[in-house]
Every structure is written in structure tokens, then in C-alpha cells.
Chain A
Amino acid sequence: MKRLLLSLASIGLLVFLWEWLYRSDIINLFYFPPPSQFITFLFEENFNLGLGPERQNIFVSIVASSLRVLIGLIFSFSLGLLIGMGIWSIPLVNSMMMPIVRLFAPIAPIAWIPLALAIFGIGNVSAVFLVFMGTFFILVIATIGALNSIDRNLINVAKTLGADSSQIWRHVIVPSIIPNVFTILRINFIGAWMAVLAAEMVGLRDGLGAIILIGRESSNPDLILVGMTLIGIVGFIFDAFLIKIQKRIFWWSHINI
């Protein structure tokens, strides 16, 4: 509770300073309208932003961006785990595939934008593809790393308890590695989030990124700041949601037995 109050207080202080600077004549903050102004603007526009045919409801934009990230992450998490386990369990495939995976992993999600637009055109598939490419290879590496450091003793215990090979995979190996891989997913979520927003600014005409672009094209600083604020808030909520999953579902990752 104390921490929450402190967090709110620090954000409150930032907003207060911002408002005060805008109203004082110390510097010109025309392109930096404070919350009181751009939030009012949001209400005046009835939560519908943009011009002409591109005008759309703000909540639709939020849902559009979030879904793109979520679907991309679900794909990369499940496929990353599966492919990682496949690569790891066959030594020959392991030594053949790992160089390729490690070559692709450092390519930032944003770097895939031109290719994605060229291959899939402007649309949701491109956005999901970006999130996927930006996280998949890292998750494969994370899966293999987690498998390499798996506790052999748990496997031995399972064997002496009569478990067969597939049971060991399902009931020992997968629960052992999933929390670690999920942590890597969480860390890389921000990269994926950025990629989707960048894609929305470059090509896709909807989502939170597009709001900023429309703001720029129509020289409307209110619009730009609404977009930026929402990106921050939605990203924050997304991250909090992932932390919640980590703590509630995959809680045993940081516990040593």
C-alpha cells in the first residue's frame, strides 16, 4: 500500500511539474501539452480520434494493438518451447539448428518491419509476424538453456518412481523449464510491443501507433501525447499482467528445493 502511494505520488509530481511549466513562461511547451489539455481533448473528441475514414474509437485502437501483441506472443511462446525441446532432444539437429537460431535472435523486431510489410502487406498478419520474429528465436535459445540446466535429480527421482520417457517430459521437464522461458518472454515483451507500435506508425493505419502518426500528419500535439500516454499505460498493464501470470501460475521458478 505504501509502495502504491509512493508510485502515485511520483507520477502526480511529474504531472504537476509538467502542468506548472506549461502555464509558466519559462519555456515554450506548445508541442508538449500537459495531461489536463490532451485528456480534455480526448473527451471533446468523444474518444474517437483521427480524420475522415481513419477516425476510430480509442478502445478499438487499444484492443487492436494488444491483440496483435498477445497473439504473436502466444505463437512464439508455444512454438519456441516446442521447437526448443525438439532441437535439444536430437543432438544432430541441435548442432545444425543452433547457429541459425543464434544468427536470427539478435535481429531486433523493428528490423523485420520492411520485410513483413513486403511479404504480408499492410494488415494484422504483418504485426503478429513482427512480434513472433522478435521473440521466437530468443525463446528457442531460452528453452534450450533451461533444458541444459535442468535438475537431473528430478529426472532420476521420476525414473525410480516408474515414470516412462513421455511422462518425464510432460510431468518433469516441461514444468521445470516453463517458468524460466516465461521470464524471458516477459523481458522480451517490451521489444515486441515496440515493434507493433512501430509497424502501426509505418504502415498499419490503426492501433495506438497510428494515433501518433495521425497526430504528426495533422500537426496535433494533443493527439501525439494521447497516443504516447496510452502506449505507456497499456504497456504497463500488459507487463503487470505478465508478472501476475509469472507469480500466480509459474511461481516455482525462483524457488530452490
Chain B
Amino acid sequence: MESHQHISTEEVVLECKGIGLSYKSEHSEPVEAISNINLSVQRNEIVSVIGPSGCGKSSLLSVISGLQAPTKGHVIHEGKIVTQPSFKRSMVFQQPHLFPWANVYSNIEWGLKRRNVEKKKREEKVKRILSDIGLSKWAKSYPHELSVGMKMRVAVGRALAQHANLLLMDEPFAALDYQTRLLMQKFMLGDASKRTILLVTHSIDEALLADRVIVLSQRPGRIIDEVKVGLVKPIDPTAKKYIQLKTYLANKIQEEVMKSVNDDGSWPSAVRMKDVWKHSPVD
């Protein structure tokens, strides 16, 4: 492992090698959620994954996080095969999922405390993050006292506090109002960002905030396209290149969606995370 760090692959933070995930559904045959995913993420790179709904985007993220073991292939993070979740791969889920019995401060501090990070260091870290996400005044508030946008900010803060070298984000801004979404996108994905992020989204605009966009097919999700974005930040949504990219991606996804509509006109079945969790052991 040691020598591994010094050769040219040093910049690769994450690698997925031939990942596939199938799960058994109660009422149907085994379902293949994702198939043969190969991708890599470089340090300080933002990669977004986009695709039709139900194509297995969230499944892919849960495999990368280590919450779900892949049925084929493996994930390599920092040169090591992923076998279980780790704080080194922070995750922001679709919903905030804050601990309702803990206040904002304790929610952000939670992971650090479990890992016995020194109290003084924890305090410094949490205070800085509170000010970053603009919630210093709300440190003592409980989740039920916050708006949806604020809760999501806490969830992002909690993930950032981990000091992970890879941030996994599963449609984190989808539930937010327009204004909060813009601010969060700017904060997380804006030009000053020096973070390694793998972002799952269904918004093409959001996907274009990344350095690279990966397009997944209809279920089972396979990579069907990969687009280097290379836009100057802050992004000008009227720029010709932006519009070209956006149109290209929109067409790509639409094509994919239409392909999967059944002959009788009925909709395709989608992967639901509820089913995926149901068939995995608790611990």
C-alpha cells in the first residue's frame, strides 16, 4: 500500500471497478440495479452522476459509501478496497436525517465525538463549520425548530466536519427551495471549492456545476456517456457552451427514458432504495 501512494495514481481518490448490484425483491425476480460501473474520481475533482429516475444512482452511491456491498466488482478508495462505511467517505443523503434528540451543535459534532477527537479540536471544528453554513446563532436549536433548508445545511455541515477526503452527495439539494439551493450549490460546488465530490443529481443544471458529468442508462444503470464540462466559474447560464452542454445532456437522458418505455406504453419499473435496504442485514 505504501508504495502505491507515491506512483502516478496518487491523484486518484476513488475508483469503481466493474461494480454491479442486484437485490431480491419480495414480489419479483432478482432486480439488477446497476451494472458494470467503471469510474474514477481525482483529487479536488467534482464529478456528477446523472440519469433517468430509478436508474440506480442512489444504489451506486450506497455501494461506494460501503453501506451496501456490491454483488460484482469492487470500490477502491485511497488505494484500499471498500468493505464497510467509513468517515473518510462522508455522505450527504437526500433528506437531512438529523438526530432529533441532538441539537445543531451536537449533530455536527456527532461523528467527531464517536471517534474520540479531542474536545478542543471538536469545538474549533464545529464552530468553524457553524459559521461556514451560517448557523452559528442556531447552535443550540433542535432539528424540529429548523426549516428544511437549515436542516440540510446542518446535514452538510455534519458531513464536512468529518474531514473526509471524499464527499458523496445523493441529490442533497433537491428538497430545497430555489434560493437556498443556489446558496448551497455556490457554497459546496462554487469556484472556491477545493473538495473531492461525487454528486448524484437529476438536475442537469446542478450536474453542470461539476468538472465532469457521468450519464447513467435506464435500469440497470450503466455508464453510457461521460462529458468533460470545463466551464468557467461562476457559471454563466447564457453562455453558448453551457447551453450546448445542457441540450446535449437533456437529449441524452430523454433518449434513454424513451427507450425504456414499454411497448404497451406503461412506465418502466424503477429501483427504490426502500427495497434495497429491506434486503440487507442491519449490521
Contacts and interface: CB of A to CB of B under 8 A. Distances in A.
Interface string A124-164: 00000000000000000000000000011111111111111
Interface string A235-257: 00000000000000000100101
Contacts of A255: 100, 143-144
A102 to B, nearest CB: 23
Given A160-B65, A160-B89, A175-B101, A257 B143 contact: yes
Contacts of B95: 153
A257 B151 contact: yes
Interface stretch (B35-43, B110-118, B172-180, B226-234): B110-118
Interface in A211-257: 252, 255, 257
A40 interface: no
B98 A257 contact: yes
B67 A163 contact: no
A108 interface: no
Contact of A161 (B66, B111, B142, B282): B111
A165 B283 CA distance: 7
Given A156-B67, A255-B144, A162 B87 contact: yes
A172 interface: yes
B97 interface: yes
Interface in B236-270: none
Contact of B101 (A156, A161, A165, A252): A252
A153 B100 contact: no
Contacts of A165: 283
A167 interface: yes
B283 A162 contact: no
Interface string B96-139: 11111100000000110011000000000000000000000000
A242 B95 CA distance: 33
* B contact patch SS: loop
A160 B91 CA distance: 6
A160 B114 contact: no
A55 interface: no
Contacts of B86: 160, 162
Contact of A257 (B67, B100, B110, B283): B100
Contacts of A171: 110, 114
Nearest to B282: A155
B162 interface: yes
Chain A contact-residue range equals 20 to 34
B159 to A, nearest CB: 8
A139 to B, nearest CB: 20
Given A155-B282, A255-B144, A257-B151, A161 B110 contact: yes
Choose among B95, B96, B97, B142 the residue with the greatest number of A CB atoms under 10 Å from its CB: B97
B258 to A, nearest CB: 33
Interface string A154-195: 111111111111011001100100000000000000000000
B97 A153 contact: yes
Interface in A79-102: none
Nearest to A178: B101
A162 B111 CA distance: 6
Nearest to A168: B283
Contact of A175 (B65, B99, B151, B159): B99
B162 A157 contact: no
A161 B87 contact: yes
A159 B85 contact: yes
Contacts of A163: 111, 114
A80 to B, nearest CB: 20
Interface in B142-171: 142-144, 151, 158-159, 162
Given A153-B97, A156-B62, A257-B96, 13 more contacts: A154-B99, A156-B277, A157-B97, A160-B91, A161-B87, A162-B85, A162-B87, A162-B114, A163-B111, A171-B110, A172-B99, A257-B97, A257-B100
**In the complex, the 4 A-B pairs of residues with the closest C-beta atoms, listed nearest first:** A162-B87, A161-B111, A159-B85, A160-B91
Interface of B: 62, 65-67, 84-87, 89-91, 93, 95-101, 110-111, 114-115, 142-144, 151, 158-159, 162, 277, 282-283
